[in-house]
Structure 1
C-alpha cells in the first residue's frame, strides 16, 4: 500500500504544503486516541464556555482544538490558524507560507452515542489574507473517526482516501474517488421542514413521491447529524447533503461555516466530480465577509444538485 508521505511526495505540491497535510494527519491520529479513551477518562460534558458561534463548548472540542494547534505550531510552514473554537485567528511565531482553517471536531454532539465525528481542514496561502474564496484553497480534506480512522484529502488533482493502520500510519485505500453522478439517497434534517423555503420543500416532495415523482425513482433519506459522516457516505457511494437557508437561519446567513466547513467539503466534492452550491451560487466562488461566516450548503451527486438548483431557479 502507498503511505500518505509517499503519496504526498508524488503530488504537484511543494514539500512544505505536504508537511501541513501531514501535520493535520498527525493531529487526527492523536485526536482519535483521545476519543477512544474519553469515556474512560471522563472527558465528557461541557466546559462552561461558549464559542464565537454562540455554541456551548464541549471538553472534547477544546482538547481537539488544542491538539491541532500544537501540531501546527510545531510546523514552521504554518503561520495562521482559523478555528471554529477560537474567536480570532491565531498568528503564530512561525513565518510560514500557509494558513489552515479547521473545524477540529465536527459533529461532537454525537460523541455520547458513539457516532462518527471528524476533523475538517482547508489550507491556503497565508499572504492571501484571512477571507479568501474557496477557489484559493491549495488543499482540503477531513478525517473521519468511525469504525476506521479515514483521511480524505485533495490537493487539486483528485481525491484520495487513506486509512490509519495499527502502526499509526495512513495507508491509501482509495485513489481518484469519483462520486456517482446519479443517486437515490438524500440527507436533510426533516425536523426543520417548517422552516424550509419553497425550493427545498419542492425538491424533497419530489423525492418522497418516489416513482411517481419528477425523478421517477424511489429515494431513501439518510441523516446522521455529523457533516463529516454524511459527506463521507456521499463521497463513497453518492447522494446529496442539504443544509439550506431557511427562515430560522436566514438572519445568520445559514448554518454551516464557510471557511472551515463548506469550502473544504466543496473542494473535495468538486475534485471528486460532484457539485457544491448554496442553492443559487457555487460555494467556492463566495468571497468571505468574515472568518466565521455562515452559508447554506447543498452538495453531492451532480444530477441531484442540478435538480435542487432548478428548483431555486424557479423562484
Structure 2
C-alpha cells in the first residue's frame, strides 16, 4: 500500500485552507464593492465544486466528466423548494402539489440539494463504479449528457431550456464561505478515513489493494456519493447566487472550468484543489478588469477582447509543462516544507 497522505497525520491542511478562504472573505467585506463581492462568492462556489470533484477524482484516480450533473440536480432542487408558489405554478406547473406549496430557506435547500444529488450518485454509481479508466470517464460524461437532456426537455417540471427565475438571491459572502470551509473539512475527513486510504491504495496499486481485501467498487461508490452530495449542495448555492437556473448553466462550460482548476492545482491534493481555484480565479478576474479598461491619468488602457482566454490557456500550458502533476502535485499545505507523496513509496511504521 502507498504511504498515507500527509492529511492523515495533521489537521493543519484544512485549517490553513480555511484561513485562506477567510482572508478572501475579509478582503471582499473591506472592499465594500458589490461586483467584487460577487467575484468572491463565485470563487467560494468554485472551491465547493473543485473540492467536490477532488473528493472522488483525487482519491480514486478516475477522471469524471459528469460531476456537474449533480450540481444541476441540486440547482433545480433550490428552484423547486425556494421559489414562491405562484411563480412555480407559472414556470413549472407539473410539480406535485406538496412541492408546489413548499418554501424553505436557502440553507435548507442546499442540504436538500445535496441529499437529492447523493441519492442519484448512489443510483448511477452502483453501475459506473464497476468501470475503470477511460471507460469510466466516458460513462460519467454520458451521465452528464443524460441529465442535461432530461432537464432540457422536461418542460412542466424544469421549464426545459427556459430560465427558471425567482430563486431568492443571497448576496452576502458569509454563507458561501461557511459552506466552502465545511466542504474542505468533509473532503479532508474522507481522505483520512479508512475508506479514503483504501481508495488511494486502489488508485496506486489496484492489484495489491484487491488482493489485500479492498472492495474497489464499494470504496469508489462511497467517494462518488460524498462528492455528489457536495456538488449538489454547491449547485443549490450557485442558483441562490444568481437567482435563476437553466440546464446549460450546469453543462460543458462549468465542467471544463472545474476540471482545469483541479488539474492545475494538483488532482491528488486537497490543497491543490483550493489553490487551483484561488490562482486561476484571481487571474481570470484580473484579465477581466484589464479587458474592461484601466484608467491611467487621462487615458484608458484596455487589453483586446479574447486576451483572457489566450492568457489563461498559456498559463495552464506552462504550469502543466513544468509541473505535470499540478502546482501542489500530491503534497499538502501543512505549515512545514511540503513533501510530495510518490506512489509506491514505503510507508512509515
- Which TM-score applies when normalising by structure 1? 0.27
Structure 1 or 2, whichever has the larger Rg, is: 2
Tell which has more relative contact order, 1 or 2 (C-alpha 8 A, sep 6+).
Answer: 2
| Higher relative strand content | 1
